[in-house]
Amino acid sequence: MSFDARKFRDLDPGQRVLMGPGPSDVPPRVLQAMSAPCIGHLDPYFLETMNETQELLRYLFQTKNALTIPVSGTGSAGMETCFVNLIEPGDEVVVCVNGVFGTRMSDIVNRLGGKLIRVDEQWGRAVNANKVKDAIKGKNPKVLAVVHAETSTGACTPLEDLSSIAKEVGALFLVDMVTSLGGMEVAIDKTGIDAAYSGTQKCISCPPGLSPISFSDKAMEALKNRKSHVVSWYLDMSMVASYWGAERKYHHTAPINMIYALREALRIIAEEGLEARWTRHKLNHKALVAGIETMGLEMLVPESERLPMLNTIKIPDGVDDVKVRKALLKDFGLEIGGGLGDLAGKVWRVGLMGHAARPKNVFLFLSALETILRAEGVKINPGALDAAAEVYAS
């Protein structure tokens, strides 16, 4: 059988500025680490690399949890890992839904045969803790789950009140940190979080492919006391933990080079320092919002509930969402995201995540958006760049 391999070109996607909802820009150091020689997943050098990766992850999650590891899969694998290990058929599970990813949590609970107690909130708003209290009266939930940073809307739900509610009813507190981890505080131990998951491609600024998770002792006890087997063999933490723990018992072939990349991305975060990193994300967010509002555009989420790393901007009436995003990519090499679900065609999602959260990207986006909107005949107020510059100056 003849086959012409020459028709396939060399990979060269060109440079992009990734300011969408993920993935984010990856530092050159991370890409270089990823290209280190591949070795065996039980090689002593790699086992030590695994230890270092866990130590760095505990620093980022602010936890002492023994089971703090990167799951071999994207953020959605982390979500599924938490639910399949902690939920059995018939368990009552409270899921807070204020966007796409709370909806996805609910779907998983139903697939596992759990009894879903769904608490809905308006998309673009933080979850109201009082609604959760009302929903669980007379109930006995095993898990209370919430998305900390809802990527589909840009809304941030405070965790302290929900953690207290979970503790009061004896439920495990499960938190989606896919977008927040590495861009704002997510102190697992201090907040009383029992299970958390994230993704490497957002504020960690590593290529997609791994999902950091962390289970508390209470969550591990719940896993140990299950009446039935975990329905997913691949994501069964009672087995995977033995590979990442002292036993080093083979489970699956770890993605060696992706873990190299994650270790380097976490090392960069540790070098910067958590507080400095959170401050940087917040500063660039404020500068972007100042420019957007000076133009005369509006943000979707109220100021007190906004995420610093995912900014949702209302699309002006009569403006073609897709046309603007295509122009940003074609003319400026800049990627942003559109709305999902009920917000499709109504908002732009602009990420300032990890390596991409920097002034030059804020100024590029503001000037590019203004240029495109003016060309479309949209009336834009002047002074957006000056407004952003004032934020940085102050």
Q: What is the pLDDT of residues 16-27, one digit of tens each?
A: 999 999 999 999
Share of the chain above pLDDT 90, in %: 94
β-partners of residue 115 are 92
pLDDT average, residue stretch 161-190: 98
β-partners of residue 96 are 119
What is the per-residue pLDDT for 243?
92
Confirm or reject CATH 3.20.20.70 for domain 28-271, answering yes or no.
Answer: no
Distance of alpha carbon 203 from alpha carbon 181, whole angstroms: 6
pLDDT average, residue stretch 22-41: 97
Q: Beta strands 172-176 and 195-197: pairing type?
A: parallel
Residue 47 has pLDDT above 90, yes or no: yes
What is the per-residue pLDDT for 1?
80
Query: Which among 134, 77, 80, 135 is positioned nearest to 109, based on CA atoms?
Result: 80
Query: Which among 188, 211, 186, 191 is positioned nearest to 201, based on CA atoms?
Result: 211
Q: pLDDT tens digit string along 297-329?
A: 999 999 999 999 999 999 999 999 999 999 999
What is the per-residue pLDDT for 2?
85
The superfamily CATH assigns to domain 274-393 is Aspartate Aminotransferase, domain 1 (3.90.1150.10)
What is the per-residue pLDDT for 381?
97
Question: What's CA 259's distance to the chain center, in Å?
Answer: 18
379 phi, psi to nearest 5 deg:
-75, 115
Residue 58 has pLDDT above 90, yes or no: yes
- In a 10 Å sphere around its CB, with 0-12 CB exposed, 13-18 middle and 19+ buried, how is residue 377 labelled? exposed
What is the per-residue pLDDT for 330?
97
Q: Residues spanned by CATH 3.40.640.10 within the chain?
A: 28-271
Q: Residues spanned by CATH 3.90.1150.10 within the chain?
A: 274-393
pLDDT average, residue stretch 151-168: 98
